[in-house]
Amino acid sequence: MSGVRLFKHSFAGGEIAPEMFGRIDDEKYQSGLALCRNFVVKPQGAVENRAGMKLVRSAKYADKKVRLLPFTYSTTQTVVIEFGHQYCRFHTQGATLLDGGNKPYELATPYQEAELFDIHYVQSADIVTLVHPNHPPMELKRYGAADWRLEAIRFKPELDAPQGVTATAHGRGGILFGYVVTAIAQDGKSESEASAEVEVVNDLYTSGHRNTIRWNPVNGASRYKVYKRQNGLYGYIGQTTATAFDDDNISADMSATPPLYDDVFISGGILSVAVLDGGRGYLEKSGIASATVRNGGQNYPQDGTFRTRAPNPQGGSGDFFSIEDRSGGGAELDVVVQGGKIVRVERVQAGRDYTAPRLVFRNESKVYQRGDQIGGKVWQPAEVSMRLDGFPELVVTDATGSGAQLLPVVQNGRITAVRVIKKGSGYTAPKITVQATVGSGAVFGKIEVSGKSFPAAVSYFSQRRVFAGTHSQPQNIWMTKSGTESNMSYSIPTREDDRIAFRVAAREANTIRHIVPLNKLILLTSSAEWRMETVNSEALTPASVSVAPHSYIGASNVQPVVVNSTLIYCAARGGHVREMAYSWQAGGYVSGDLSLRSPHLFDGLEIADMAYSKAPVPVVWFVSSSGELLGNTYIPEQQIGAWHRHDTYKGRFESCAVVAEGAEDVLYCVVQRKLAGGTQRFIERLESRAFTRQEDAFFVDCGLSYSGAAVNEIHGLAHLEGEAVAILADGAVLPETVVRDGKVKLPVKAKTVHIGLPVVSDMQTLPVAAQIDSAFGQGRKKNVNKVVLRVWRSSGIWVGPAADKLTEAKQRRNEAYGHPPALRSGEIEVVIQPSWDDGAQVFVRQTQPLPLTVVGATAEVALGG
C-alpha cells in the first residue's frame, strides 16, 4: 500500500456537476468543488461560509409573494423597495421606513401578485421608471425620505396648446393666410401641440400691411412659436414672449414645423369604425342651428339686441357683430348684451355651407382682440359655440372609456367613412350613434379597440428614455425626443432630435423583453439577441438607426445585470445563465453559457430573480425555482466564474436585490419560511463579514441581535416561536434553545447576543485526480488518513470523508476558563475516520454560528491496488 499527499491550493472553480468528474483535463477541475453549500467562493481561491441573514420585517401578506427592487440615489442614499400585492414598502440599512403613526410607510400600486416578477425598471436620479405589459408606464418618484409618489407617465406635452388664437389683417385684399401657435416650456425643450388654425385675408406684399396673431397666455409657458401655412404644412416664422405676433410677410422656415404627438401606450383606444350602411340625406355643410354662450365676455360698449351683419365693402363707422367662416354665408344672429356681457344669442337665419362659424365683434377696419380698449375700457371677448343645423355628429357612449373624437366623412348624402381624430382610452364596449336633424339610416359595424398596449421593457440610451415590447407591437421600440424623459413628439420633415420609433424586422414575432445599454443598445427577445447602433458611428437620430441580429438564443423575463462591460442574462429555455461580452477577436459580442460546468444547479429549473453585488466579493446572485439562492463569484477579466449554492432552514428564497450600504453592497432577500408558528414571508438582510471582535460575528438566519447591559433573557423573537434557535453570546456558542412566548433564556448573562435559525455550511472536494500513475489514480481504492486545513479566522470546524463521518477539529489552546475558543488562522490537522472508496473526497462542515474560511487543504491519501 502506497500513500501520497495532495494539496488543494484553490477553490476558485466553485461547485461543478457530477457529469464533470471525469474531466480532469479541464482547467476548472483542479480548483473546483463537488459541493459548495452556504459557502462563498472568494476571487483569491478561498471559500468562506456566508454570513447570516438578519430579519428586517415580515412582508405585509404572508400568503402572497413579494419582489424586491433596488433604489440608489447615491452611494449614501439607497433603499430596497418591497413590491407586494398592490402595495410597496421601503427598507434601508436593515430597517423599514415608517410613517408618522409608527407603521410601515406604504404606497398603493396597481400591480397584482401574479404581475410582480414581470415588472421591469430603470432608474435615473430619484425617479424609477416601472413598466409592465398590463399597466401604463409609471414613475416612482422620491421627493423626500418619507415622501414617495407613484404616477403614470404623461407622454403628452407638458403645456396645453394656446387657446383663443385670432388673426387680424392690417390691410385689405390679397390671399388667405393660415397660422398656428405653440407654447414653449421653461426648459426650452418641451413644446405644446399646435393651436387651432386661424385664417385671415391680406396682401402682405403691400408695404405696411401685416397680420397680427393673438392668443391667450398658457400657464407655465416661457415663450411662444408662430407658424405660417405653406403648401399644406406650417413653417416657423418667429417666436415671442408676448401673446401677440406681427407677420409682415416673413418667409416660413419649412424645416421647422410644429411638433406632432403620437398616442403611445394607450389601452382601449378606438382605432377604426366600419360603416355598414351610410344612410341617406346627410349634409356635408350646413346652416347654423343654434348658438350657446359659454362665457359672456366683458365691457361690450352698449346693451341691447344687435343683429349680425357682414362688413360694408364701402366702409363705414361703428361697431357691430359679424359671423366669420371659411365657406358659409347668409346666417343672421341676434346678440343680446346686458351689463356689458353677451347673455344670449338667437338664430334668425341659418344660412348655408358653414363648417366652423365664429362670432366676432368688430368695426369696418378690424376685428377686436382680447385686451383692446373700447370706450376707454379693456374689452374681453365672449365665447360662443355654434351647432350646425343637420350636420351629423358621432357620439360615442361607453361605461368605461372617454376622450374619443370621431368625424363622419359625408359624400352625396351618405356617411362613407369615419375618421378617428382622437382615439380616447379605456373603451371596452363602445357604441356610436348619429345626431343629425337631416339624414338618417347610418349603421356602423365593428369598432376596433386597441388592447393593452403598454411596454414590457425600459432603459436609457444616448440621452433618450427607451421603451419596447407592447402586446400589440411586440417588436417595436420607442425612444423619446433627445434630452427628454417623456416627449414623444416628431416633426414633418424629420428633425435629428425627434422621437425615434421603429420595428425590429425579425423572422419571428417575439416580444422584446429587455433593453440593455452598452456601447451599443442590446435588445433581448425570447428567441434572439439584437444590437442597435448608428450608421457610420453618427449621432443617434431617426435616420441613423441600424439594427442587426447578434445571436439566436433568447432570454427569459428575468431582468439582466451588467458586470463591468459584460451582460449577464438568463436563457429563455433550459434555465441556464449566459454571459455576453465584446470580443475583439470575433469583432463583436460573443455569448457563452455560464452554467456549462454546473448544469445540475439549473437543469429542469428556472431562475426567478437576480442581482449583482460588487463589493466586498463580486457575486451575481440568482433565485432558483428550487428555492435555493445561487451565487456566482464573477470576475470576467480574470476568467473567474465560480458557482455556490445557498439554502436556509425551513425556507425558500423568492426574490433578491442588492444596494450599497456603507463600504459594502448588501443583499436583501425575500424568504418564505414554514415555521412552527405557520408560513410567513420575511425580508432578510445578509450581514457583513467585516467584523473585528468574535462576539460581533453574525451567522444565523432570520435572526436578531441584542447589545447592551448583560442579560440572560432575550425577548422579541415571536417570529421564531416554537423553533430551536442557534445562539452566539459574547462570542461563545450556547446550546440551541426553543423559543417560548417570544423569548429565550440564556444559561449565562451576555452583553452581545445573536439569535436565529441555524445555518449549516458544507464543502466537499472533487474525487482525487493526481499524477500518481498513468491513469491519474483512477480505478483505485483510496482512503484519506488525515487532512490539514489552512484556515483564516475560523472556528467550529468538522472534517471527514462524508457528511455522516465527521470529526471535530479541536482548537481550544490557552484561552481562559469561561472564554470561547479564539478564532484560528493557520494550519489545523485533523485525523478523520477511515473510508475506502474510489474518490478520496474531503467533506468540511460548519454547524455553529461562527466564521469559517478555508484557504487550502492538504490530504494524506492511502492508495489501494
Checking if the pLDDT of 769 tops 90, the result is no
Among 130-139, 318-327, 385-394, 640-649, whose mean pLDDT is lowest?
385-394
Average pLDDT score over the chain: 91
Query: Given pLDDT bands bounded at 50, 70 and 90, which one contains residue 736?
Result: very high
- How many domains, in total, are found in the chain? 6
Do 247 and 292 lie in one domain? The reply is no
Cross-strand bridge partners of residue 152: 138
Considering 338-352, 434-448, 532-546, 653-667, the range whose residues carry the highest mean pLDDT is 653-667
The answer to whether residue 780 is domain-embedded is: yes
Q: Identify which has the larger pLDDT, 225 or 196.
A: 225
For residue 156, is pLDDT > 90?
Answer: no
Same domain, 773 and 847: yes
The residue with greater pLDDT, 11 or 379, is: 11
Does the pLDDT value for residue 856 go beyond 70?
yes
Residue 573 maps to a domain: no
User: Both 7 and 91 in a single domain?
Assistant: no
Residues of the chain with pLDDT > 70, as a percent, come to: 99
Residue 176: the pLDDT is 85
Confidence category of residue 393, pLDDT binned at 50, 70, 90: confident
Over residues 237-250, the pLDDT tens digits come to: 999 999 999 999 99
242 and 173 within one domain: yes
Whole-number Å distance between alpha carbons of 430 and 402: 10
Please report whether residue 215 resides in a domain. Answer: yes
> pTM for this structure?
0.82
Who has greater pLDDT, 40 or 484? 40
Burial environment of residue 4 by CB neighbours within 10 A (0 to 12, 13 to 18, 19 or more): middle
Cα dist from 201 to 176, 315, 321, 356, 386, whole Å: 4, 17, 19, 17, 23
| 480 found inside a domain | yes
pLDDT for 314: 56
Tell me, yes or no, whether 747 and 776 share the same domain. Answer: no
Average pLDDT over residues 376-394: 83
Q: Are residues 793 and 834 in the same domain?
A: yes
Highest mean pLDDT among 408-417, 469-478, 714-723, 817-826: 714-723
Residue 1 has pLDDT above 70, yes or no: no
pLDDT over 70 at 691, yes or no: yes
DSSP 331-399: -EEEEEEETTEEEEEEEEE--B-BSS-EEEEE-SS-B--TT-EETTEE-B--EEEEEEES--EEEEE-S
Q: Are residues 103 and 117 in the same domain?
A: yes
Cβ-based burial of 103 (10 A; exposed 0-12, middle 13-18, buried ≥19): exposed
* Last residue in a domain, options 757, 780, 798: 757
Same domain, 291 and 378: yes
CA distances from residue 620 to 560, 579, 614, 655, 693 in whole angstroms, order as listed: 10, 12, 8, 13, 28
Rounded CA separation 42/29 (Å): 17
Q: Which of 258, 277, 311 is the last residue of a domain?
A: 258
Question: 327 pLDDT exceeds 90?
Answer: no
Q: What distance in Å separates the CA atoms of residue 604 and residue 616, rounded to the nearest whole number?
A: 32
Residues 6+ apart with CB under 8 A from 480: 464, 465, 466, 486, 487, 488, 499
Determine, yes or no, domain membership for 586. no
Would you say residue 804 lies in a domain? yes
For residues 734 and 767, state if they share a domain: no
First to last CA, the chain: 7
Question: 767 and 729, same structural domain?
Answer: no
Burial label, 818 (beta-carbon count in 10 A; 0-12, 13-18, 19+): exposed
Task: Pick the closest to residue 320 from 380, 371, 358, 361 (CA basis).
Answer: 361
Residue 671 in grid coordinates: 424568504
Closest CA to 670 of 627, 709, 635: 627
Q: Is the pLDDT of residue 175 over 90?
A: no
Cell of 327: 365657406
pLDDT tens figures, 414-459:
999 998 877 888 888 899 999 887 888 999 999 998 877 899 999 9
Inform me whether the pLDDT recorded for 139 exceeds 90. yes
Q: Are 516 and 561 in contact (CB under 8 A)?
A: no
Asked if residue 341 belongs to a domain, the reply is yes
- CA-angle at 187, arms to 183 and 188, nearest 5°: 50
CA distance 179 to 198: 5
**Per-residue pLDDT tens digits for 617-633:** 999 999 999 999 999 99
- Greatest mean pLDDT among 172-181, 523-532, 584-593: 523-532
The answer to whether residues 766 and 744 belong to one domain is no
SS3 113: helix
Residue 527 maps to a domain: yes
Contacts of 131 (CB under 8 A, 6+ apart): 119, 120, 121, 137, 138, 454, 455, 456, 457, 458, 467
What's residue 649's pLDDT?
Answer: 97
Domain boundary among 706, 731, 757: 757
- Domain assignment of residue 337, given as a range: 287-389
Whether residues 766 and 753 fall in one domain: no
As a whole number, mean pLDDT of residues 785-789 equals 95
